[in-house]
Amino acid sequence: MQWETSISEVSSDGERIRGYRLDELATNLSFAETIWLILFGEIPTKQKTKLFEAMLITTIDHGIGTPSAMTARIATSGGATLPAAAAAGVLSLGPRHGGAITQAAQMLAVAVTKQESASALVERYKQEAKRLPGYGHKLFTKQDPRTKTLLSLARDLQLSGPHAVLAEEIETMAAKTFSQLLPLNIDGAIAALGLDMELPAESLNGIFLIGRMPGIIAHIIEEQMGTKPMRRLSPDETAYHGAPPRSITHSDNDAF
Amino acid sequence: MQWETSISEVSSDGERIRGYRLDELATNLSFAETIWLILFGEIPTKQKTKLFEAMLITTIDHGIGTPSAMTARIATSGGATLPAAAAAGVLSLGPRHGGAITQAAQMLAVAVTKQESASALVERYKQEAKRLPGYGHKLFTKQDPRTKTLLSLARDLQLSGPHAVLAEEIETMAAKTFSQLLPLNIDGAIAALGLDMELPAESLNGIFLIGRMPGIIAHIIEEQMGTKPMRRLSPDETAYHGAPPRSITHSDNDAF
Amino acid sequence: MQWETSISEVSSDGERIRGYRLDELATNLSFAETIWLILFGEIPTKQKTKLFEAMLITTIDHGIGTPSAMTARIATSGGATLPAAAAAGVLSLGPRHGGAITQAAQMLAVAVTKQESASALVERYKQEAKRLPGYGHKLFTKQDPRTKTLLSLARDLQLSGPHAVLAEEIETMAAKTFSQLLPLNIDGAIAALGLDMELPAESLNGIFLIGRMPGIIAHIIEEQMGTKPMRRLSPDETAYHGAPPRSITHSDNDAF
Amino acid sequence: MQWETSISEVSSDGERIRGYRLDELATNLSFAETIWLILFGEIPTKQKTKLFEAMLITTIDHGIGTPSAMTARIATSGGATLPAAAAAGVLSLGPRHGGAITQAAQMLAVAVTKQESASALVERYKQEAKRLPGYGHKLFTKQDPRTKTLLSLARDLQLSGPHAVLAEEIETMAAKTFSQLLPLNIDGAIAALGLDMELPAESLNGIFLIGRMPGIIAHIIEEQMGTKPMRRLSPDETAYHGAPPRSITHSDNDAF
């Protein structure tokens, strides 16, 4: 099996990432610039770097009560090593937790290409009784402050484009159309701004994973340093609603 | 890189596990017998199979409140796929949750080899203020019913040997020596009985992982079928004890 | 947060799985029967148990060259713990490796319900240029011997039903329709026979995960016992096709 | 169960990390500065930020032939989702792959505290036939270029201290003492410089996990975009050395 790559080249002389010597990157670029380079192949402009840093920072942690922090800490409490607990945290980042970015990006990209208006799009989702990916948040029910920061910064940096414009129009139309407010959330904002910076839609979810990793590690280290024993639910936090007490009878498992 | 193995051989004619044709195994053996074969290289006797089945069954699930069930269900609630959620569950099975088997086996194996008595061993652990691996349980504070079932079955099958005898003597001595009861738990029982069946100490923890997998899968399927949204802690379940609200000042991040 | 379950109930008296005392299960049932019970809620008949054991056995391992064995062994070679390496193995079990069961089950269930014939279904997949889930294998290009074993056993046990019949008819029609043979593979056979035993389609992929776990553990233990250092590709096994050697220039990263 | 943390506080008004508003961090700090803040509690100086960025960059990827890249790509080839494949990559980062940082830090911290000389330390390891953690590399057999970059940068920034000095002295002494060169590797350099910046030893391994995540994601995206089918070893890449072909006999599985 031959393994081919365009990412990096390693020899006994050293390593090159996307053609650049690793030591040149380490002494000249920021970590965020190097992340962009390894993911997308080129060094970003200063403006794009600034917005990219902000995107990574806003995903770094959303509190101890989120699935990624909880699974990482519970695994740690069972004695998992640092990589094992970090993996457990990462594994909770599915479509309902950080992973709506991909669907939101697809929705926005198609709508911009087809020049579908925000009102038509929202109406269509309402008719089909589908959830708008990248909208709504359990805690930030009126407005997601992280989103506003990113959109405002993008405008200041002149990086905001048609996807961000559409994303905000959808937020406005959704408020008029649905019975509850559905603010543009962080997943939706990363999708819109990533597309406006011409990043490939399928890679945007990776930004969330990279951005969240330090938060997961911080929760693991805090849990390791604590003195708490294995986390388990107390009996009053659980409820059993299954079959009543019973015994095995002959008829359960009849003759062969 | 050449990959060598003694486990299985696959060709276009079919597969052999430890020398036996897979189809012959599938029509003639039980799953537990085949697990033993793939792990240890030979088909077990009927007596060993019976005890091994019981060991696997007693580890299958220990309630929704354990780390393995919680992490698997939380990951599922975030939208993780079945393998991803199963992996999250497995990752919480560290030294404090199912993983004390290895340490317990080492303690018992060394003590039997050196003919150390239970009283000397317990006294030594007390002097060194070390925890006895394989003893004590948060819920089963007086006696672990799962352990009693396995030890009794092993005696009936004439598979109980010096490690099980020592394990029970340690339980008795610990009750006299420490201020709280430290019943032999399921980790300790699997360690003792695995050694009495002459299984390699380093493989015993694998039995727990295999036995627990169906329970993890059952919790994931139940969570998938439920209608609950993403599981997250409510504000009254969390408490923040960190730095007070503050703003970035010049001195935080001084001149380069 | 209240955690509700119908799977198990744990108290200081002991544990019940689906209503049965764990110790009663451990002394009276096989591991496979208990797996069925915890997944599906009831104790299976002897016939269903026999077929279920065979399904679990045929998935136990498909050689050192499969993704699940390779990832588990490579992670072990990097120093991963047993649970961490097992999780790495499980994570490679995606739609292209053991995970086609779900899609195959959906295809077969819909076709049986709608009484679509094998010829119509195969023609439809050909027209839409879609892959038939549960058919074809890289190594078993003419016939998958594991599948034949399961289907034959199911017939002997009188557990074969309309889904297995359709699955074999599709295999025959596909041979006439496509340019290469597409034998019913193990994923397709588990899907068909699971449906014929009236198991829920969404749980069938779990059978593969449970069945494969012992094989993954066996590979990890063998890797741990070996003396090989960290597995890494040698330079002649890799090829770099990316950007040529270059240096950072001013224009890469222009003025802010 | 009450969940306590000092990392972050989330309310419907927004979020604070270590006391700072997330939007203030996103608009004023770099990603690397925010990583330092969430891990260690305070905003780093410009000098420490510069060295920290370089540490993260030098760990970002070490080629397609490393366990973390291979497991992530193999899992992807089996159909794993982005988080699942990322977790598989992270899980290979054990003590032999990025995880020697912890042991190297412990060795250096104790030696500096006890004022043990490099020659005494190297002699002690030779006597005990133990490996020096943080030294030696399969490819960089004479000198690890990444290490030299970091140590030189640390000196320029006046952040080099007793641990870095000792680390280099050990490299020199090891060259005189052992039969093969054992250059200070990237794990050892991160350990030494982390300690010189007064970071807690137990958190240093987390830097490697955070730094490597973008490289893992880049490999997954490249693998997803490729057209390769499931990666599996060809028959000539594997070798079976186990039991010869055999059949089940009565004596394998004797009477109960």
Write out residues 227-256 of C within 8 Å (CB-CB) of B.
231, 233-234, 237
Residues C156-179, mean pLDDT to the nearest whole number: 95
Q: CATH number of the domain at B193, please.
A: 1.10.230.10
Q: How confident is the model at residue B155 (pLDDT cuts 50, 70, 90)?
A: very high
Report if residue D96 sits inside a domain: no
- Phi, psi (deg, nearest 5) at residue B191: -60, -50
Identify which of B139, B145, B213 has the shortest CB distance to residue C210.
B213
Within 8 A by CB and 6+ apart from C226, the residues are: none
CA-CA distance, D94 to C84, in Å (whole number)?
Answer: 9
CA-CA distance, D205 to D203, in Å (whole number)?
Answer: 6
Interface test with chain D among A18, A49, A90, by most D beta carbons within 10 Å: A90
Spatial strand order in the sheet of D14-17: D8-11, D14-17, D20-21
pLDDT at D235: 82
CA-CA distance, D141 to A188, in Å (whole number)?
Answer: 48
Query: Tokens standing for B41?
Result: 């290289």
Report if residue D254 sits inside a domain: no
CB D114 within 8 A of CB D124: no
CA-CA distance, D138 to C228, in Å (whole number)?
Answer: 13
Q: What percent of chain C has pLDDT over 70?
A: 96
Structural domain including C150 reads 101-202
CB A25 within 8 A of CB A174: no
CB D33 within 8 A of CB D145: no
- Please indicate whether, in this complex, the C-beta atoms of A230 and B70 are within 8 angstroms of each other: no
Which amino acid belongs to residue C219?
A: H
Residue A43 with chain C: CB contacts under 8 Å:
248, 252-253
CA-CA distance, A118 to D180, in Å (whole number)?
Answer: 67
Higher pLDDT, A72 or A202: A72
CA-CA distance, A163 to D15, in Å (whole number)?
Answer: 26
> Among B235-239, D146-150, D194-198, whose mean pLDDT is lowest?
B235-239
Write out residues 100-129 of B within 8 Å (CB-CB) of D.
none
Interface test with chain A among D57, D74, D140, D205, by most A beta carbons within 10 Å: D57
pLDDT at D63: 94
What is the enclosing helix (H) or strand (E) of D111? Answer: helix D100-114
Do residue D108 and residue D184 come from a single domain?
yes
List, for residues D101-158, the tens digit of each pLDDT value: 999 999 999 999 999 999 999 999 999 999 999 998 888 888 888 899 999 999 999 9
Residue A170: is its pLDDT beyond 80? yes
Residue B254: is its pLDDT beyond 90? no
Q: What is the DSSP string of D38-98?
A: HHHSSPPPHHHHHHHHHHHHHTS---TTSHHHHHHHHHHHTT--HHHHHHHHHHT-STTTT
Residues C113-132, mean pLDDT to the nearest whole number: 95
Do residue C118 and residue C25 come from a single domain?
no
List, for residues A49-88, the tens digit of each pLDDT value: 999 999 999 999 999 999 999 999 999 999 999 999 999 9
Which amino acid belongs to residue D113?
A: T
Radius of gyration for chain B, computed over Cα atoms and rounded to the nearest angstrom: 23
CB A165 within 8 A of CB A121: no
- Please indicate whether, in this complex, the C-beta atoms of C79 and D66 are within 8 angstroms of each other: no
Report the greatest alpha carbon distance in chain A: 77
Query: Tokens standing for A46?
Result: 């200063």
CB D190 within 8 A of CB D208: yes
State the complex-level ipTM. 0.94
Do residue B198 and residue B110 come from a single domain?
yes
pLDDT at B255: 43
CA angle B214, B218, B223 (to 5 degrees): 150
Residues A167-190, mean pLDDT to the nearest whole number: 93
CB pairs under 8 A between B and C: 255
List, for residues D50-100, the tens digit of each pLDDT value: 999 999 999 999 999 999 999 999 999 999 999 999 999 999 998 888 778
Q: Which residue has the tokens 């190594």?
A: C139
Residue D163: is its pLDDT beyond 90? yes
Report if residue D149 sits inside a domain: yes
Residues C175-185, mean pLDDT to the nearest whole number: 91
**3-state class (DSSP) for residue C16:** strand
- Cα A140 to the chain's mean position, in Å? 17
- Please indicate whether, in this complex, the C-beta atoms of A90 and D90 are within 8 angstroms of each other: yes
Residue C6 with chain B: CB contacts under 8 Å:
222
Identify which of C1, C18, C45 has the shortest CB distance to residue A243.
C18
Q: What is the mean pLDDT of chain A?
A: 92
CB pairs under 8 A between A and C: 139
Task: Check if A67 contacts D (Cβ < 8 Å).
Answer: no
Write out residues 158-217 of B within 8 Å (CB-CB) of C.
200, 202-203, 205-206, 209-211, 213-215, 217
Q: What is the mean pLDDT of chain C?
A: 92
List, for residues B164-210, the tens digit of each pLDDT value: 999 999 999 999 998 888 999 999 999 999 999 999 998 899 999 99
Do residue D35 and residue D118 come from a single domain?
no
Work out whether strand D3-5 and strand B238-240 pair parallel, antiparallel, or are unpaired. parallel
Higher pLDDT, D186 or A255: D186
Report if residue B236 sits inside a domain: no
> Among A110-124, C2-16, C149-163, D151-165, whose mean pLDDT is lowest?
C2-16
CA-CA distance, B256 to D47, in Å (whole number)?
Answer: 6
- Residue D27 Cα, gap to closest chain A Cα (Å): 6
- Please indicate whether, in this complex, the C-beta atoms of C74 and D64 are within 8 angstroms of each other: no
Provide the angle, in degrees to the nearest 10, between the axes of the packed helices C118-127 and C162-177. 50
Work out whether strand B14-17 and strand D14-17 pair parallel, antiparallel, or are unpaired. unpaired
CA-CA distance, D191 to B140, in Å (whole number)?
Answer: 43
- Residue B150 Cα, gap to closest chain C Cα (Å): 8
With residues binned 3-state (H G I as helix, E B as strand, rest as coil), the percentages for chain D, rounded to 5, are 55, 5, 35
Neighbours of A18 (CB within 10 A): 22
Higher pLDDT, C55 or A230: C55
Query: Tokens standing for B68?
Result: 């393995």
* Among candidate residues D29, D25, D90, D210, the one with its CA nearest the CA of residue A212: D210
* Among candidate residues A119, A196, A99, the one with its CA nearest the CA of residue A150: A196
Q: How confident is the model at residue A249 (pLDDT cuts 50, 70, 90)?
A: confident
- Total residue length of chain C: 256
Residue D65 with chain A: CB contacts under 8 Å:
3, 10
Report if residue A78 sits inside a domain: no
Report if residue D90 sits inside a domain: no
Residue A185: is its pLDDT beyond 90? yes
Report if residue D248 sits inside a domain: no
* Among candidate residues A32, A18, A207, the one with its CA nearest the CA of residue D53: A32
Report if residue A227 sits inside a domain: no
Residue B256: is its pLDDT beyond 50? no
Q: What percent of chain B has pLDDT over 70?
A: 96
Task: Check if A80 contacts D (Cβ < 8 Å).
Answer: no
Do residue A111 and residue A184 come from a single domain?
yes
* Among candidate residues C155, B22, A207, the one with its CA nearest the CA of residue D83: A207
CA-CA distance, D95 to C189, in Å (whole number)?
Answer: 41
pLDDT at D95: 82
Residues B107-130, mean pLDDT to the nearest whole number: 95
Spatial strand order in the sheet of C20-21: C8-11, C14-17, C20-21
CA-CA distance, A155 to A24, in Å (whole number)?
Answer: 32
Within 8 A by CB and 6+ apart from B128, the residues are: none
Do residue C25 and residue C117 come from a single domain?
no
pLDDT at D255: 43
CB C69 within 8 A of CB B245: no
Task: Check if A93 contacts B (Cβ < 8 Å).
Answer: yes
- Please indicate whether, in this complex, the C-beta atoms of D18 and B242 are within 8 angstroms of each other: yes
Q: What pTM, to 2 d.p., does this model score?
A: 0.95
Residues B132-144, mean pLDDT to the nearest whole number: 88
List, for residues B119-133, the tens digit of each pLDDT value: 999 999 999 999 999
- Please indicate whether, in this complex, the C-beta atoms of D242 and B6 are within 8 angstroms of each other: yes
> Among B61-75, B126-140, D34-48, D185-199, whose mean pLDDT is lowest?
B126-140
Query: Tokens standing for B187?
Result: 């980790």
N- to C-terminal Cα separation, chain C? 48
Within 8 A by CB and 6+ apart from D222, the residues are: A5, A6, A7, D73
| Count of structural domains within chain A | 2
CA-CA distance, C118 to C141, in Å (whole number)?
Answer: 20
pLDDT at B102: 92
What is the enclosing helix (H) or strand (E) of C9? Answer: strand C8-11
